[in-house]
Amino acid sequence: MQIARTLVQLRAARAALAADGRPGLALVPTMGALHEGHLSLIRAARAHGDAVAASIFVNPTQFAPHEDFARYPRDEAADCAMLAAAGCDLVWLPDVATMYPPGDATMIEVAGPALLWEGAARPGHFRGVATVVAKLFGQVRPDAACFGEKDWQQVQVIRRMVEDLGLPVDIIAAPTWREPSGLAMSSRNRYLGARERAAAPTLFAVLTGVRDAICAGAPVGQSIAAAEASLVAAGFTVDYLALVDAVTLAPLHEPAGAARLIAAARLGATRLLDNIAV
Ligand SMILES: Nc1ncnc2c1ncn2[C@@H]1O[C@H](COP(=O)(O)OP(=O)(O)OP(=O)(O)O)[C@@H](O)[C@H]1O
Ligand SMILES: CC(C)(CO)[C@@H](O)C(=O)[O-]
Ligand code: BAL
């Protein structure tokens, strides 16, 4: 596995892959602190592309000032070992000055699917995500890029940006990788204390319960209100739990077309996301 830390090294590594007869490249953007969910993306990317690159960059512009940028888990050595073992060909490890050079003055603002939910709970978050993903695409020049459905809204925002800007990158969405308890794997799960970890799988259990109730004909508003009450009883603070159009993220009052149940809820200081198809 080649490791690139500068744009010069990245270009050389990219050229070496092409010279090796592997012109197609799929990128898996990450913020590191890797787990099995990330490795499932590497496998999905391998199934699509000739070669696989991963990037690791904890992107400051997608964190608000009060959020966990400074304490976000970082373990580059363990991440690189996991990527190499998973068959990754290239890892891109840029620093902040490479991603945001002096005088940097361009940000990408997606409206539409970025406005509600995570966009409302974390103002500026998707602006940072869209900007860094567009930069990564420009630097790595992948043919495809793979993102996890765990961050459902993020996938829709990136698809919107790629379509609107005409970026030549196929977006692959990979299913959410879960622990046996049902808890969606996430780098932030390592913030959970023992009691919080025991309560965390309730989020997925509650989502599947709401989905089943809605599919059996129960009213959406009533099912969601009952689910929020169950989450609060389990110790969560609910940021949102909503039935939405799977692509536009517009709220739905009854299931129609491709619908998604999305949720963000906090256990202590740890914010968990999850979603399922309805
Ligand atoms: N459990 C999972 N299943 C599938 N994809 C995942 C999972 N967890 C993360 N991903 C995907 O991995 C990519 C990188 O995500 P990131 O590095 O932020 O990890 P994370 O576990 O989502 O961390 P965080 O706790 O910050 O949300 C994203 O496309 C994300 O959706
Ligand atoms: C896509 C991403 C790597 C951009 O920083 C990040 O939002 C993430 O890890 O999901
Ligand atoms: N996986 C989403 C990245 C973030 O929470 O900033």
Expressed as residue numbers, the domain containing 262 is: 187-273
Q: Please tell me the predicted confidence (pLDDT) of residue 23.
A: 74
Is residue 181 in some structural domain?
no
Which residue, by CA, sits nearest to atom 3 of ligand 2? 30
| Tokens 């090796």 belong to residue | 20
Catalytically annotated residues: 38
Return the CATH number at 60.
Answer: 3.40.50.620
CA neighbor of 131 nearest in space, from 169, 93, 100: 100
Is the separation of the CB atoms in 176 and 62 below 8 Å?
A: no
Q: Please tell me the predicted confidence (pLDDT) of residue 50.
A: 82
* 154 CB-contact burial (10 Å; exposed 0-12 / middle 13-18 / buried 19+): buried
**How much is the pTM?**
0.98
pLDDT tens per residue, range 33-45: 999 999 999 999 9
Q: Please tell me the predicted confidence (pLDDT) of residue 112.
A: 98
From 174, 199, 228, the end of a domain falls on 174
Residues 157 and 237 in one domain: no
Does the beta carbon of 31 lie inside 6 Å of ligand 2? yes
Does the beta carbon of 79 lie inside 6 Å of ligand 2? no
Return the CATH number at 207.
Answer: 3.30.1300.10
Residues of the chain with pLDDT below 70 are none
d(CA 174, CA 43): 10
d(CA 13, CA 16): 5
Is the separation of the CB atoms in 140 and 55 below 8 Å?
A: yes
Output the CA 219–ligand 2 centroid distance in Å: 35
Q: Which residues are annotated as a binding site for beta-alanine?
A: 62
From 148, 174, 200, the end of a domain falls on 174
Structure-block tokens of residue 210:
């709401």
CA neighbor of 4 nearest in space, from 152, 169, 141: 141
Is the separation of the CB atoms in 27 and 145 below 8 Å?
A: yes
Q: What's the number of CA atoms in the CB half-sphere (13 Å) around residue 176?
A: 21
3-state secondary structure of 46: helix
Residues 145 and 17 in one domain: yes
CA neighbor of 155 nearest in space, from 140, 142, 143, 170: 170
Residues 234 and 98 in one domain: no
Q: Please tell me the predicted confidence (pLDDT) of residue 21.
A: 86
Residues 131 and 7 in one domain: yes
For the chain, the domain total comes to: 2
Which residue, by CA, sits nearest to atom 4 of ligand 3? 62
d(CA 13, CA 51): 12
Sheet holding 90-92, edge to edge: 2-4, 90-92, 51-56, 25-30, 144-148, 170-174
Output the CA 150–ligand 3 centroid distance in Å: 10
pLDDT tens per residue, range 78-128: 999 999 999 999 999 999 999 999 999 999 999 999 999 999 999 999 999
Q: Please tell me the predicted confidence (pLDDT) of residue 70.
A: 96
Residues 27 and 153 in one domain: yes
Does the beta carbon of 29 lie inside 6 Å of ligand 2? yes
